Structure 1
Amino acid sequence: MISKQFCLIIFCLLGLSCAFLTEPQYKKRSLKEKYIENLLHAQQGLDFSTQCNNVDLANYYNGTAMSGYLNVGIKNSTSALGFVFFGAKGVPASQLKNIPTIIWIEGGPGCTSMYGAFIENGPLYIIQQSNTTFTFKENSFAWTNDYNVIYIDQPIGTGISHAQNKSDIPVDEDQVAQQFYFALNQLYNSENGCFKQVGINPIDTPLFIYGISYAGKYVPSIAQHIVQKGNKFNLKGIGMGDGFTSPYYDTQSLNKYSYDHNLITLDQFNKNQVKVQSIQKFIKEKKWKNATDLFLELLSDVNPSNIDVYNIGRKEFPDSSYLDNLINSQYGQELFSFKLDKTFVQCDPVVYEVLSTDFIKEDCVARVEYLLQKGIYVHVYNGDLDLIVPYYTPQLWLPKLSWSKIRHFIEAPLRVWRQGNTGTIYGYKQQYDLLSFSLILNAGHMVTEDQPEAGYHLIKDQINYVLSKQQF
């Protein structure tokens, strides 16, 4: 991942206390005042301490909008995770604690969750009218129609987040989870944490963590750490969309999916199989560099026509430069109180470099097993047009999970999934007890971007299912 295109292909395998939008007792600051404050920070050194900022989106969104930073606990370091938060639509800030809350994490490693916030399932889409003028339009199928959603750029160095030193960036999933857990404590318990300020708390508020692509590693790793620490945040379930949870089985499914979808010939398939077997052998032997180098070669070999690996039905890769333009603009930094110490990019090459060894490691399936054994709901979903993490991948590793009820899940039928009893067919579902698998039709790697309506019902159906099974 050196160029942006290469970065995306590899990756997507893949505040100071201030006013609340709906709370009159807090004094709101104008954009001009906040911009002047940011300029002062820039002159004196940007402030990345745990903080919570109001975001005035009243002209576009009927709900609480906030942003900020979360310290990750590195001694003598200002490294911090950045985020934007949207309270559920139409719900006063004082009542947000009664609404299920979702943490959304993008993949990479090193890709921004602002993509999820403004292109996939967040409440607003960006409209760029000129080089310096931006507005927003409502996403009818936003997850915030029913839930609070916080979009966190992680690990540090990603997107709007800040890494003071390259050495601060985590090198594996254990370090990712440790830093994220510290940040969550800040979010919930610091007086400057947004959840603390609006009253979101573990007693009243069930928590879910969702993410896509490389977050298929992040999400179970973070969730495992939360549970091991006593589940103090009331985590109920996790979800991984087109997740790179198992590089071992993704290697195998890449070649088969490509052949089954007429992207390569039988001769090419057979030649690729030699490489597949070598990669899997290297993974078993923990020869991570050898495995990664061959894996990157395989990605090219299974796609000789250079089609869009994120959606094989798409004729050209969509332009999302307006996201970079907004966040790098004076307007975007004023509006969201972003404190950038570098040019914002959607996927950060330094983060990818630091986590390059972690990339091919095969350790996150065991984390999923741990979560199931501890009673955490696990939702795995995939678009059927994704080449880079084909739906074959979870169909290979899910049946092999070490879980007492896995036989019941395997025997559960794959049912048609539609809106209501006679509505639009979204895809197929397989579900038993704590484990669910969903296949979404006509969707690629970014399911909620390609099929926003299906993506909305995907999350709503799953959270309703989980909460109907649990008392909290």
Structure 2
Amino acid sequence: MCRLYALFCIIISFAPLAAAIRVLPNDPRRSSVRYSEEHRKLLEQRSTTTATHPDEHFVKDLPLLDSQQFSTQQWAGLLPASPHGDKYFFYWLFAPSPSEKPDAEIPLLIWLNGGPACSSMDGLFLENGPFRFVVQDGEYQLQPDDQYSWHRLPAYTLYIDQPVGTGLSYTTSRKYPTNDAELCTDFYYFLQSFLRLHSDKFVKEQEMNRALYFSGESYAGHYNIIYTNHILQQNKDPNNIRIRVQGAAIGNGWVDPYYQYAGAEAAYGHGLIGISEVAAFKEKEQQCQRNLEQEKFNTGICFDLVDEIVSQSFGKGSKYQVSSYDIRRVEGPGLAKFPPGHTIVEAYLGHWTLTGEQEGTLPDDITPRVIQALHAEASVASGQRYKECTDPPYLALAKLDGKGVVPEMVQVLEHPDQVQLLFFNGIQDMVCNHVGNERSLEKLPWKHADDWNAAPRYAWSAVSPTQVSGYMREYQNLKYLKILDAGHMVPLDVPEVAFKMMQTFLYGGSFQNSQQVLDRTKSAECPVCPQCPVYNTDNNENRGTSGSPLLWLMAGTIVTGLLLFVMLHRKAAVEHRVVRIPQHHGLELQESHYTDEPENDDDENESPTRVI
């Protein structure tokens, strides 16, 4: 999981139906008003309603949005994620903008935020959705995004709060997923429920009538890979609606912690640390990797690989530090927390009181009207109160922070359907940095690994021929794009570039504007420290099982020298033995002097806060 290593979000306690949207009396953020008696009765009447026709989820009048300025059709509501009636996902669907493309060519594009347990409403309101909060005469309004909303790609865009307990999605049984299998089961059940309800737009004769693509960022990289792989397997069942999943676009994705926990090389590139510090962090990285080999997926030493660098970015004792999500931003007392604007979304959907830092105000009765417009009354009636990130579902999955999805990635890439995977990274991000992501892809044990590593690199200009937007390396159905001037949330930082990227990806465009012609090797060594461990360039299914060529060359040289010495000086033969150092994932585990102290490593309470 891409994490900011900080305090957990405060656990919210929900009161029963009679006090819907109520918070604890000692909560300083408590709501100024509560639902009226009329709204309470409405909740009781509609809390068990299940939609049987898409018109029941049609959004007619969204508070703060001028319907004359925004004519795009939209649907929102709750659909079951379990056959037992105890789990429901909240979704929000937008129709594509008018275009000249045939309807069958317009895909369904799903957006998921990460965390785990962070709401996809971040993506909708802050990143690539169809409207933004603006201040007019001191009050917040929703203003349509007429340029870079992803429904204008064109695409049906679907934002989903998942797993249960996230955003406005809820569970009455409090059974939160604890592993990938349970995540996949809930998500697939919801997706089948969604396609049945909206079959007029997406289904023909028990099969989707258009392509489906996933998108998302951070821990959504984990989600998108396992969901794509699960769908491909479930498509074999004739009783299910066959889902035409054709690709996934994963931004700053958390997919292979074995390489992605590390932050030293990325930090060195940004100037946050020096060469000597890189060497020291390499020892800690190797200890983290040993823990992962032993299936210790939630350990302090792994979290510290970025946390220590960030905490010292302003020097010892400073109240300020660079943001793990974007080193161009600063965190500290009196400064807004990342991402900008998320507290407004919380006030709009969750009835939280805005702080004095905000530029505008919201009507006191705004949330009840919004919940009614989005057909999410049952969520509130169950006790679920919207927050950007929530604790119960996160805590259920936190112990798997270091578990990657490499086997599933390989299965997706090698599936006969040729599913396209686009990984894109804002290079200003530290917590899911571009170095770790690229190293993970270089070590990926799929059948075309050597070809991908040898593939040329291209500069890509999305906006202007005089401005480079990023750098692409691709081979067949695997693409990796590094995006300049962006951090953890690429669509937030460079919306035009993100829009052009998705248009190119969905509709078969090219990222190959101009090839770089530079000397290169198949798999790069650490560029900054001669003591760095040697990375094995043999990409096969048994990553890390072969010895380093450099070590064998050195050993051979030593043996030859000894034999020559013996022959020249006619002395007794010297017994010489070569010790082979064990490896994992192509990374040698050199002897380390770092002490993995229990309080620093196996602290049950030390877990990273999930991110978007």
TM over 0.5: yes
Q: Hey, what does 2:48 align to over in structure 1?
A: 47
Q: Hey, what does 2:592 align to over in structure 1?
A: none
| 2:477 is the alignment partner of 1:439 | no
Change (3 A) 1:181 1:361: same
Between the aligned partners of 1:100 and 1:116, the Cα distance in structure 2 is 18
* CA displacement, residues 375-414 of structure 1 (integer Å, 9 cap, x when unaligned): 2111111001010000012211112223222222222211
Between the aligned partners of 2:137 and 2:5, the Cα distance in structure 1 is 23
| 2:287 is the alignment partner of 1:287 | no
Superposed displacement of residue 265, structure 1: 3.6
| 2:469 is the alignment partner of 1:426 | yes
- The DSSP-based 3-state class of the residue aligned with 2:151 is helix
Which of 323, 332, 341 is matched with 2:370 structurally? 332
Q: Hey, what does 2:455 align to over in structure 1?
A: 412
TM-score (norm 1): 0.83
Identity of aligned residues (%): 24
Q: Hey, what does 1:448 align to over in structure 2?
A: 491
- The DSSP-based 3-state class of the residue aligned with 1:425 is coil
* CA displacement, residues 285-311 of structure 1 (integer Å, 9 cap, x when unaligned): 10223x3x2223333212123211111
More helix by share: 1
* CA displacement, residues 347-382 of structure 1 (integer Å, 9 cap, x when unaligned): 1111110101222113x0111110011021111110
Change (3 A) 1:182 1:295: same
1:429–1:437 CA contact under 8 A, matched in 2: yes
Unaligned runs of 5+ in 2: 10-35, 237-241, 314-320, 332-337, 351-366, 511-612
Change (3 A) 1:71 1:130: farther
- The DSSP-based 3-state class of the residue aligned with 1:286 is coil
Between the aligned partners of 1:225 and 1:165, the Cα distance in structure 2 is 24
Q: Hey, what does 1:87 align to over in structure 2?
A: 95
State how 1:28-427 maps to structure 2 within 5 Å. 39-43=40-44, 46-47=47-48, 49=50, 52=54, 53-56=57-60, 58-75=67-84, 77-90=85-98, 98-127=105-134, 134-145=141-152, 146-166=154-174, 168-189=175-196, 193=197, 195-200=198-203, 202-230=207-235, 232-252=242-262, 254-289=263-298, 291=299, 293-303=300-310, 304-305=312-313, 306-315=321-330, 317=338, 318-328=340-350, 329-339=367-377, 340=380, 341-362=383-404, 364-374=405-415, 375-419=418-462, 422=465, 424-427=467-470
- What residue identity is the alignment partner of 1:355? L
- What residue identity is the alignment partner of 2:431? I
Superposed displacement of residue 238, structure 1: 1.2
Q: Which one is further off, 409-418 or 256-265? A: 256-265
Between the aligned partners of 2:374 and 2:38, the Cα distance in structure 1 is 13
- What residue identity is the alignment partner of 1:280? Q
Between the aligned partners of 1:5 and 1:65, the Cα distance in structure 2 is 37
Between the aligned partners of 1:6 and 1:96, the Cα distance in structure 2 is 47
Larger radius of gyration: 2
1:88–1:144 CA contact under 8 A, matched in 2: yes
- What residue identity is the alignment partner of 1:160? L
Change (3 A) 1:38 1:431: farther
Superposed displacement of residue 4, structure 1: 11
Change (3 A) 1:120 1:4: farther
Change (3 A) 1:270 1:400: closer
1:50–1:186 CA contact under 8 A, matched in 2: no
Change (3 A) 1:89 1:45: closer
- The DSSP-based 3-state class of the residue aligned with 2:86 is coil
- The DSSP-based 3-state class of the residue aligned with 1:211 is strand
* CA displacement, residues 171-221 of structure 1 (integer Å, 9 cap, x when unaligned): 1122111110111111112xxx2x224445544211101110001110000
Superposed displacement of residue 235, structure 1: 0.6
* CA displacement, residues 19-71 of structure 1 (integer Å, 9 cap, x when unaligned): xxxxxxxxxxxxxxxx9996435335723746651113533423211101121
TM-score (norm 2): 0.65
Number of residue pairs matched?
429
- The DSSP-based 3-state class of the residue aligned with 2:389 is coil
- What residue identity is the alignment partner of 2:451? H
Change (3 A) 1:44 1:3: farther
Superposed displacement of residue 130, structure 1: 8.7
- The DSSP-based 3-state class of the residue aligned with 1:210 is strand
1:4–1:347 CA contact under 8 A, matched in 2: no
- The DSSP-based 3-state class of the residue aligned with 2:170 is coil
Between the aligned partners of 2:69 and 2:252, the Cα distance in structure 1 is 31
